[in-house]
Amino acid sequence: MQNEGRLFQSSYPKSFRDLVGKNGVITMQGEQQRKLHGIASNMMRLEQLKFHFLKDIQLVMLRSICNFSDDQVIVLQDVCRKVAINLMVNQLLGMSKESEIEEMAQLFSDFVDGCLSLPINLPHFAYHTAMKARKRIVSKINSTIERRRTEGGSEDVGNGVLGRLLDEESLPDEAVADFIINLIFAGNETTAKTMLLAIYFLAQSPEALKKLQEEHDALKKATAEDILSWQDYKAMPFTQCVIDETLRLGGIAIWLMREAKVDVSYGDFSIPRGCFVVPFLSAVHLDENIYKGALSFDPWRWTDPENQEKRNWRSSPFFSPFGGGARFCPGAELARLQIALFLHYFVTTYRWRQLKEDRMSFFPSARLVNGLQLRLTRRTEAP
């Protein structure tokens, strides 16, 4: 990861590149990739989180997860996917209408399903359906761009990242569409699954759940508003431990794809130029020589002084849930904010009981086989 563009370069099959777009930050190489990565990082820096995203995320949470009825049964995987696409479409495209969000959710569901399918572009195959979904998504993005140019930055047209991208950067429309698709693809499924797995692990650890609820009940009591402030967000130390432990144990980006640009010697191995290398991040995250009880969910491990250096997810070689180097995830801080706020509203609004045993599957990505079926009980007040 630290030798991007020198010893190794990011590399994906042509079928995947055709889906996510040739102008996106995921597939671009060299100077253009650095430019797009810089734009994405700038759009999602801390100042933007405080003033553009914090309130919008919470309004989506209040609308999406706080209205389930008492004793309602949900499949949490479906709920988290809907919340995540709602967040991404709202923040990137400025869309807030339910009908628009539902349509984009279905299109991106078809799109994601095709990314790990056989690349057969014929009717009734997942890849073909995904390519059709891509065309529809590009059309909707272009339509939003045109509306913004003709109507200005009104609320109906959207003031998300797309609006700032058009105002502040000079990219052709084709590159803008690929850029937005890349950000939604990278941020949607990963955030949804991390929200899901956090609740799954907490359900297996009553002590951690109790500690998390106490932290968020205290925050809820301390504020007279439904909307938390940035100071409230920064006052969630145990929540950050839960997020880090979820990312370590159930990280979504468990492997990467790289291609050797030159002949590389690594230890006793010789990697010829042009060979594919697949580093498994989870092989480090789950290594008993690095983390005691590596296969156990233990948020308290991140309060141990000996793990503080490992915990620096921006640069640590032992904890890389957001990648590293030139392709470090530009939305890492945004993702953590979304997950923390999701946990706040979920644990302060509901108690729950798991209805069916679930099990983890780690390949090709971390997932729960049954989607975590829960029966919810509304909390009338914090204890």
Q: Are 140 and 163 in contact (CB under 8 A)?
A: no
Report the 10 Å Cβ neighbour count for 148.
21
If one counts every other C-beta atom within 10 angstroms of the C-beta of residue 328, the result is 17
Classify burial at 159, counting beta carbons within 10 Å of its beta carbon; exposed 0-12, middle 13-18, buried 19 or more. Answer: middle
Closest CA to 345 of 95, 126, 65, 132: 65
- Separation between Cα atoms, residue 326 and residue 373, nearest integer Å: 39
Q: CA–CA separation, 346 vs 213, rounded Å?
A: 10
Question: Bridge-partner residues for 277, per DSSP?
Answer: 258
Distance CA 273, CA 6 (A): 12
Q: Does 329 count as an annotated binding residue?
A: yes
Q: Which residues contact 31 (CB under 8 A, 6 or more apart)?
A: none
Q: Which residues contact 140 (CB under 8 A, 6 or more apart)?
A: 103, 104, 107
Dist CA 177 CA 20 (whole Å):
10
Which residues does the annotation place in the binding site for heme?
Answer: 329
Which residues does the annotation place in the binding site?
Answer: 329
